[in-house]
Amino acid sequence: MAGFFDKLKQGLTKTRAKLTQSIRSVLAIGQKLDEETIEGLTDVLIAADVGPRAAERMVGDVQQAFRQGRFTDADGAIAFLKQDIERTLHGWDTSMKWSASGPTVWLVAGVNGVGKTTSIAKLAKYYKDQHKRVMLAAGDTYRAAAVDQLQIWAERVGVDLIKHQQGADPAAVAFDAVDAAIARHMDLLIVDTAGRLHTKDHLMRELSKIEKVITRRLPDAPHEVILVLDATTGQNAVQQAKLFHESIRLTGLFLSKLDGTAKGGIVIGMRDVIDLPVKFVGLGETADDIEPFDPDQFVEALFAG
Of 253, 115, 128, 256, nearest in space to 188 by CA:
128
Q: What is the rounded CA–CA span in Å between residue 170 and residue 182?
A: 19
What is the separation of C-alpha 209 from the centre of its chain, rounded to a whole number of angstroms?
A: 23
Asked if 124 and 136 touch (Cβ cutoff 8 Å), the reply is yes
Model confidence band, residue 198 (pLDDT cutoffs 50, 70, 90):
low
Task: Please tell me the predicted confidence (pLDDT) of residue 216.
Answer: 95
Q: Which helix (H) or strand (E) covers residue 293, if one does? A: none
Over residues 220-244, mean pLDDT: 92
Res 190 pLDDT > 50: yes
Res 199 pLDDT > 70: no
pLDDT tens, position by position, 54-99: 999 999 999 999 999 999 999 999 999 999 999 989 888 999 999 9
Handedness of CA 7, 13, 15, 20 (dihedral sign): positive
115: CB partners within 8 A, 6+ apart:
228, 230, 256, 257, 282
Of 64, 23, 94, nearest in space to 302 by CA:
23
Percent share of the chain, pLDDT over 70:
97
pLDDT tens, position by position, 16-37: 888 888 898 898 877 788 989 9
DSSP state of 258: G
More confident residue, 158 or 239: 158
Question: In terms of C-beta density within 10 A (0-12 exposed, 13-18 middle, 19 or more buried), how is residue 53 classed?
Answer: middle
Res 167 pLDDT > 70: yes
pLDDT tens, position by position, 266-287: 999 888 888 899 999 998 889 9
- Taking the alpha carbons at both ends of the chain, their separation in whole angstroms is 18
pLDDT tens, position by position, 94-141: 999 999 988 999 999 998 889 999 999 999 999 999 999 999 999 998
Of 135, 144, 150, 147, nearest in space to 182 by CA:
135
Show the DSSP H helices in the chain as ranges.
2-11, 13-26, 35-39, 41-47, 52-67, 74-90, 116-128, 144-157, 170-183, 201-217, 235-247, 266-273, 295-302
Task: Please tell me the predicted confidence (pLDDT) of residue 1.
Answer: 45
Q: What is the rounded CA–CA span in Å between residue 1 and residue 27?
A: 31
Q: What is the rounded CA–CA span in Å between residue 295 and residue 88?
A: 9
Question: In terms of C-beta density within 10 A (0-12 exposed, 13-18 middle, 19 or more buried), how is residue 185 classed?
Answer: exposed
Task: Please tell me the predicted confidence (pLDDT) of residue 12.
Answer: 87
Give me the torsion for CA of 72, 78, 80, 83, rounded to 10°: -170
Cis peptide before 222 (omega within 30 of 0): yes
Task: Please tell me the predicted confidence (pLDDT) of residue 200.
Answer: 66
> What is the residue-averaged pLDDT of the chain?
90
Res 242 pLDDT > 80: yes
Task: Please tell me the predicted confidence (pLDDT) of residue 305.
Answer: 67
Asked if 111 and 237 touch (Cβ cutoff 8 Å), the reply is no
Q: What is the rounded CA–CA span in Å between residue 262 and residue 133?
A: 36
More confident residue, 159 or 8: 159
